[in-house]
Structure 1
């Protein structure tokens, strides 16, 4: 049953108060970026969803460059990654790019291709003891960037235990 509104009815004011309260909570606790998963040892494990081609700042990172984990920026009002000099204990380092084959958008096939390709690069740079404490993940094109012609997969190395001390790339041979 609908009750007609009476003069002085405060229900709309309560709704506005509730809405303003929710907005205030949103500014106190802004949305955070995904932080990967935590393995049995407490180390962060990053996957292909940790950073994507749509994460602000990622398209400015070149091979060999280091960058931060994604985090919400109040100034940018979105989740971003930032270039960081590798000697400043960076969280991630790009170690190369692979070009995915042309075709229709197929997230499962793209993910399999990216992991396989980045694994080859990781194994060629870090084998045995030099891989100790390091892991990798791919940064994939999204459906939207794929539609715009993006076929590049970025391969990224990181330390699950925390920031890396300098560049993880082995010296040139």
Structure 2
């Protein structure tokens, strides 16, 4: 029959303190691990033709996400040289047909067209790690004759470090 041996009180206190410290040490460890970046999804309302600065962006150029400008008193998009790092890069343009402004039909046309261009350059979102979004005319810019749709590529986990357009 086993004999129970009593441990001294000091040994019990050390064990209790050590066990009490384990959750604190585990919590401290989580502070030292860099959290993974939350994926961002940009849709066809993220930037529109009315966003200041977007009409100055040309094919293959990189640009910022919209940010509020105190000087302009509105959100603006700025050109950024691709090697400096940027949020987005233009990779193509589509031209919508004339007619009455129909936002849902225009968005459908834009998504399908930009996806075709995206697949030509990068095959898929999964293989490239990139995503895309169209930049549409608004009802106001449409009334002024704007029929252009810009296709833009971005990294859902952060800024582009350089041009992501493949060289042909």
Unmatched 5+ stretches in structure 2: 1-36
Q: Partner of 2:45 in structure 1?
A: 49
Q: TM-score, normalised by structure 1?
A: 0.74
Say if 2:113 is the partner of 1:112.
no
More helix by share: 2
Relative to 1, partners in 2 of residues 1:117 and 1:46: Cα closer, same or farther, differing over 3 Å? Answer: same
Name the counterpart of 2:69. 73
What are the Cα deviations for residues 57-100 of structure 1, in whole angstroms up to 9, with x where unaligned? 00000000000000001111110000000001110000010001
Structural RMSD (CA): 1.4
Secondary structure, aligned partner of 1:87: helix
Q: CA deviation at 1:132?
A: 2.1
Q: Give the paired residue count.
A: 132
Q: Which runs of 4+ in 1 moved over 6 A?
A: none
After superposition, where does 1:151-162 map in structure 2 within 5 Å? 151-162=147-158
CA distance in 1, matches of 2:161, 2:89: 11
Alignment partner of 1:59 out of 55, 61, 75 = 55
TM, length-normalised to structure 2? 0.76
Higher alpha-carbon Rg? 2
Deviation at 1:119, TM superposition (A): 0.2
Is residue 139 from structure 1 mapped to residue 158 from structure 2 by the alignment?
no
